[in-house]
Chains A and B, each alone.
Chain A
Amino acid sequence: MSNTTTIQVRVNGVSRTEEVQPRLLLVHYLRDVLGLTGTHIGCETSLCGACTVMVDGAAVKSCTLLAVQTDGCEVETIESLATDDGLHPIQEAFWDCHGLQCGFCTPGMIMATRQLLQENPSPSEEEIRHGLEGNICRCTGYKHIVDAVKQAAEQMKAGT
């Protein structure tokens, strides 16, 4: 079957019109069609969170979403965060606090952190751990990630 569907989607602020197969997963659309390989494919079973992106402002696991489901939506990936002026405060904080070792989970962690801090700019340690429950890291033991989120929260509050 080679049927295709036309979708219109804004990815990191750029409007795109694409012919895609309905079975194309969002994560494959982002990585293979658009070349946005910052979004990682981890478990492929919506458990690990490495593929987390924002769709219409809400963090989702892009391995469990069809590209056609995002027709008409705004998608933001890890590539949307840094600007010519430098890294995003969450990225800075993960760097400063050693919130990563191998870095595989980091794009998803950062996008999940972004959602968490949008909803709760001053999370407690427990709220951070609860908010990042959908993201698995096999290197850090999470301590440094929690520290990074705390630092990012402080810096983002100071910056507004």
Chain B
Amino acid sequence: MIPAAFDYIVPDSLEAAAASLAEAGDNGKVMAGGHSLLPMMKLRLAQPGVVIDLKRLDSLRRIQVDGGTLRIGALVTHHQVETSSEVKDNCALLARVAGSIGDPQVRNRGTIGGSVVHGDPAADWPAALLAMGAELTLTSSGGARSMAAGDFFLGPLTTAIEASEILTGLSVAVPAAGTRAAYRKVKQKASGFAIVGIAVCLQADGDTCTDVGIGVTGLAGTPFRATAVEDQLRGKALTADNITAAAAGVADGVDALDDIHASGEFRAHLARLNTARAIQDALGG
């Protein structure tokens, strides 16, 4: 499997990268680690005439905490997120999700920005980013804009990014002390992609749920936030019965993916089961 020929550009600055992308238009593709783009190019599902490699943009490789916000650059690898003390100390959920992606070699090379912008419906990051209400930064030669993760994912391999834009990073609010979080995934054995993945981030006062975010990946063509489940849990006692009852609605009205790895019916079952389990995991038992 060999990609179609293309021109290869390695810009020295974000401005130059944005200018190259603007010039290439629909014919251009931005590459970070290449672990989503190259497989597409090898299958000739993507045949960009111009590939713009961001590898020299070290400013996009940073993880920073400032003023209660954790910022992760688009070129940060899954391995860096998994092992970063800033992430582990401030938002352990993201480190756990990173460590569940693919395998060590993939985590060494694949980046958070590349994965998010690829929009695979079975990728791990969207679950966590939706549960946490992450904000994405999209930059073009015309400037930068911010977009909520909830508005970004539109369908299988389809996101709200414009052809002229580069995802440069993302941010999440550092969760308040006492926030509990968990990620549960049933994975496809060979690739590690989620057949169903559920990220939960919740706050409780005693045993009463005061706030909760639940992100679901793998179940549908678009990762989504399980707002109906969240609404049913807020203000309720986090008893096993209440959790199971709320989780039972996670697949309601969802057009579940159906493929050789799992039928739609089975995926919906796994989603209900693992939503309840992820909430229990977050509660620590």
Binding site for B on A (CB under 8 A): 1-3, 5, 21-23, 25, 28, 44-47, 49, 52, 58-61, 64-66, 68-69, 71, 112, 115-116, 131, 133-136
Contact = CB atoms under 8 A, between A and B. Distances in A.
A60 B190 contact: no
Contacts of B4: 23
Interface of B: 1-8, 10, 34-35, 38-39, 41-42, 51, 53, 55, 79, 102-106, 108-109, 190-192
A131 B6 CA distance: 35
A3 B9 CA distance: 12
A46 B42 CA distance: 11
B152 to A, nearest CB: 25
Contacts of A69: 34, 53, 55
Contacts of A46: 35, 39, 102, 105-106
A28 B270 CA distance: 40
A52 B105 contact: yes
A136 B2 contact: no
Contacts of A133: 103-104, 192
A65 B192 contact: no
A64 B190 contact: no
A25 B53 CA distance: 15
Contact of B5 (A1, A45, A49, A61): A1
A120 to B, nearest CB: 11
A49 B55 CA distance: 23
B79 to A, nearest CB: 8
B105 A134 contact: yes
B5 A131 contact: no
A136 B42 CA distance: 21
B39 A134 contact: no
Contact of B2 (A25, A68, A112): A25
Contacts of B79: 58
B5 A21 contact: yes
Given A5-B8, A64-B34, A134 B1 contact: no
Contact of A65 (B5, B10, B38, B41): B38
B34 A23 contact: no
Given A22-B51, A46-B106, A66-B38, 5 more contacts: A22-B8, A23-B3, A44-B42, A65-B38, A134-B104
17 contacts: A21-B5, A22-B5, A22-B51, A23-B3, A23-B6, A25-B42, A45-B42, A58-B79, A64-B39, A66-B34, A66-B38, A69-B34, A71-B10, A131-B104, A133-B192, A134-B103, A135-B103
Nearest to A130: B104
Contact of A49 (B34, B53, B103): B103
Contacts of A116: 104
A112 B7 contact: no
- Most chain A CB within a 10 A radius of its CB, from B53, B79, B104: B104
B109 to A, nearest CB: 5
A30 to B, nearest CB: 15
Given A22-B7, A44-B1, A61 B105 contact: yes
